[in-house]
Chain A
Amino acid sequence: MDYGIEDKEQETLVRLRGRLTFNDHAKLRALIREMLQNKARRQVLDLSTLEFVDSAGIGMLLIAREEMANADKQLVLRSAAGQVKRVLTVAQLNKIVTIED
C-alpha cells in the first residue's frame, strides 16, 4: 500500500493506493501519526485507488477511526470501489465510520 497526502482548506485528503493488508501495519501506523499532526479536523481517506483490503486492513481502519476520535478528529472513508466497497458493506462499517461515496 502507498499513500499521498493533500492538505485542503477544510480537510486533509489521504489517497490510498494498492492493497491494504496485514503487511502494511507499520505503514498505516505512520500514516495515523501524520494524520494526528495535521490541523484539519476532517481526515478523509480516499479509497478510490485502493484495490484490495483484507480483514487486518479493516482492523487498521478501525484503529485509525479510534485514534482520530481520541484526538477530536473525524475519519471519513470516501469513494470505495470493487472489493473494498464489498468488504465495507458486508461488515456494515457505515454503522461505525462515516462512509461517503
Chain B
Amino acid sequence: MDDAIAACRILVVDDTDFNRTLIGALLGEAGFQNVVYAKDGFDALTQIAAEAPDLLILDIMMPGMDGFEVCRRLRADHAYADLPVLVQTALSSSDDRNRAFAAGTTDLISKPLDRTELVARVRIHLQNRVLIRDLQTYRARVEGELAMARSMYDHLLPSPSLCAALMDGAGVTLRSHTALSSDLGGDLWGVLPLAGGRFGLFLLDMAGRGVSAALNAFRMHTLIHELAPQLGERPGAFLSELNERAVCLLELGQHATVIYGVVDRAAERFTYAAAAAAPPVLVPPGNAALVFGEGAGPPVGVAAGTRYEERSLPFPPDSALVLHSTAVLETLNGRSGGFAALLRSAAVPDALAGGGDAAFAAVTAALAAAQGDVPLDDHTLVWIGRGGAR
C-alpha cells in the first residue's frame, strides 16, 4: 500500500468496545498505521475539531447523538465538506440507506463486518482523498504563483506617480489602457525620462502566451532599461541594439514586436523606430485627417544584424498621439482600417471637443465592447495628449 495512504488518519466511531477493537485490528492488519477511536458522537466531534481525520468510520445507532446527526453536523461545516464518511450499518431497507446518504454519508459498510469489504472501501476512499488533496495543493500553488507573477507584472508598468511627474515635466497628458488576458500575455509598456522635458516611450508584445511569454517580457524590460542611458535618445540605434541583445537571449521562435519613440514637445515631434508593431497614429488638431506612422519591421530577437530605421510623426499643439498593441487591431478586425474607423467614428471627434479624457474614454469603451469581458490577448493603448483640451 502507498505510504501516503497507510499514514492517513482514520477515526473509528462506535459505542461498542468490541466493534472498535475489531475494526482497529482489521485495519491494522491491512497496513493502516494511524487509527484512532471515539466512543460516541460527542467524543467524535471533539476529536475531529482537535485534529481532522482523513476518513471517518461511523456507527449509526449510538446513544446521545446518533451517526446521522454527526454526519449532518460535519457536512454543515465547510471545513469537513469533503471528509469521506463511511457509515457501518445493519440497515438493509433502501429507505434507511437513502436516509444515510441524505445526511451526507459518502459510502456504506454493511454489518456484520466483512474484512475484505471494509478494507477495500477504506482504501478506495483514501486513494480518492489523497489524489484530490494532491490536485488541490498543486492547483492552489499554481494559482498563487500566477497571482504573484501577475502582481509582479503589474509593477513593471509605469506607476501613476511616475506618469504624473513625467506629465508635469514634459507638458503632456499620458493616459493608458491595459487589458490582460486570463493567462499572462506578453504586453508591456513603459516610459524612460530623458533630458530637456522629453521622454522615451515603448510598447512591447512578446510572442506566445502564458508564463514563458511573461518571463521573456521581464528579460526585455531589463534590457530596455539597461540600454536607456546610452541609446534612449536614438530610437533607431536603440531598437537595433535591443535586437542584437535579444537575439542572444531568446530562443528560436520567441520574439517581440516593439515600438520605441521619443516624445519631444518642444520640437513638436515623435521620433520612433518600430519592429512589427501597430502603426502609431496622430490625431491632429481640429478636424484634420488622421496621420498614420509606419509599424513595419522585422520582430526583435529573430535575426542578428537587423537595422531599424528612424521615422517621425509631427506632434503639434492640441493633437494626440495614440500607440497601441497589434491585438487592438485584431480585435477591431483589420489593418489600420478598424482602428481608424473607431478614431473617426462620431463618438471620438465629439468627445475630443470636450477634452482628451472624454475622447480616451470613448476609445477604450469601444475597445472594451469589441473585446468582451475577458480579452483573448493582452491589449495596450497609450494616449499622449498635448496642450489645451487633449
The answer to whether the Cβ of A66 comes within 8 Å of any Cβ in the partner chain is yes
- Chain A, Cβ-Cβ closest to B206: A55
Structural contact, A63 and B252, CB atoms closer than 8 A: yes
Structural contact, B208 and A55, CB atoms closer than 8 A: yes
The answer to whether the Cβ of A1 comes within 8 Å of any Cβ in the partner chain is no
Give chain A interface residues in 1-52, CB to chain B under 8 Å. Answer: 22
> A63: which B residues are within 8 A, CB to CB?
252-253
- Chain A, Cβ-Cβ closest to B210: A22
> A62: which B residues are within 8 A, CB to CB?
252-253, 255, 302
Contact residue among A59, A86, A91 (Cβ-Cβ distance under 8 Å from B254): A59
| Residues of A contacting B: mostly | helix
A67 shortest CB reach to chain B, Å: 9
Residue-wise interface mask of B (290-303) relative to A, using a CB-CB cutoff of 8 A (1 in contact, 0 not): 00000111110011
The answer to whether the Cβ of B276 comes within 8 Å of any Cβ in the partner chain is yes
Structural contact, A56 and B209, CB atoms closer than 8 A: yes
| Residues of B contacting A: mostly | loop
Structural contact, A92 and B297, CB atoms closer than 8 A: yes
Interface residues on A, range: 10 to 19
Structural contact, B207 and A86, CB atoms closer than 8 A: no
> B302: which A residues are within 8 A, CB to CB?
62, 96
The answer to whether the Cβ of A72 comes within 8 Å of any Cβ in the partner chain is no
The answer to whether the Cβ of A90 comes within 8 Å of any Cβ in the partner chain is yes
The answer to whether the Cβ of A54 comes within 8 Å of any Cβ in the partner chain is yes
Known A22-B209, A59-B208: A90·B252 in contact at CB below 8 Å: no
Structural contact, A58 and B296, CB atoms closer than 8 A: no
Structural contact, B276 and A90, CB atoms closer than 8 A: yes
> B298: which A residues are within 8 A, CB to CB?
91-93, 95-96
Known A55-B208, A96-B302: A60·B253 in contact at CB below 8 Å: yes
Known A59-B253, A66-B252, A96-B303: A89·B296 in contact at CB below 8 Å: yes
Residue-wise interface mask of A (75-101) relative to B, using a CB-CB cutoff of 8 A (1 in contact, 0 not): 000000001001001111101100000
Give chain B interface residues in 264-303, CB to chain A under 8 Å. Answer: 276-277, 295-299, 302-303
> A55: which B residues are within 8 A, CB to CB?
205-208, 255, 257, 299, 326
Structural contact, A58 and B207, CB atoms closer than 8 A: yes
> A56: which B residues are within 8 A, CB to CB?
207-209, 253
B62 shortest CB reach to chain A, Å: 56
Provide the bound-state CA to CA distance between A54 and B303, in Å. Answer: 19
Provide the bound-state CA to CA distance between A58 and B298, in Å. Answer: 11
Give chain B interface residues in 195-252, CB to chain A under 8 Å. Answer: 205-209, 252
- Chain A, Cβ-Cβ closest to B335: A86
Known A22-B208, A55-B207, A56-B208: A95·B303 in contact at CB below 8 Å: yes
Give chain B interface residues in 299-356, CB to chain A under 8 Å. Answer: 299, 302-303, 306, 326, 330, 335
Structural contact, B299 and A58, CB atoms closer than 8 A: yes
Known A22-B209, A55-B208, A96-B302: A90·B295 in contact at CB below 8 Å: yes
> A59: which B residues are within 8 A, CB to CB?
207-208, 252-255
Give chain A interface residues in 57-74, CB to chain B under 8 Å. Answer: 58-60, 62-63, 66
Q: Which of A59, A60, A93, A95 has the most CB of B within 10 A?
A: A59
A59 shortest CB reach to chain B, Å: 4
The answer to whether the Cβ of B377 comes within 8 Å of any Cβ in the partner chain is yes
Q: Which of B205, B207, B335 has the most CB of A within 10 A?
A: B207
Contact residue among B254, B255, B296, B377 (Cβ-Cβ distance under 8 Å from A90): B296
A56 shortest CB reach to chain B, Å: 4
Contact residue among B208, B252, B276, B335 (Cβ-Cβ distance under 8 Å from A91): B276
Q: Which of A54, A55, A58, A83 has the most CB of B within 10 A?
A: A55
A2 shortest CB reach to chain B, Å: 20
Provide the bound-state CA to CA distance between A66 and B303, in Å. Answer: 11
B345 shortest CB reach to chain A, Å: 22
Structural contact, B255 and A58, CB atoms closer than 8 A: yes
B275 shortest CB reach to chain A, Å: 8
Q: Which 5 A-B pairs have the closest CB atoms?
A: A55-B207, A59-B253, A91-B276, A63-B253, A56-B208
Chain B interface residues (CB < 8 Å from chain A): 205-209, 252-255, 257, 276-277, 295-299, 302-303, 306, 326, 330, 335, 377
16 more A-B contacts (CB under 8 A) besides A58-B207, A92-B276? A54-B377, A55-B207, A56-B208, A56-B253, A59-B207, A60-B253, A62-B253, A62-B255, A62-B302, A63-B253, A66-B252, A83-B330, A86-B335, A91-B297, A95-B306, A96-B303
* A-B contact list, 25 entries, CB within 8 Å: A55-B205, A55-B206, A55-B255, A55-B326, A58-B207, A58-B255, A59-B207, A59-B252, A59-B253, A60-B253, A62-B252, A62-B253, A62-B255, A62-B302, A89-B296, A90-B276, A90-B296, A90-B297, A90-B326, A91-B276, A91-B296, A91-B297, A92-B298, A96-B298, A96-B303
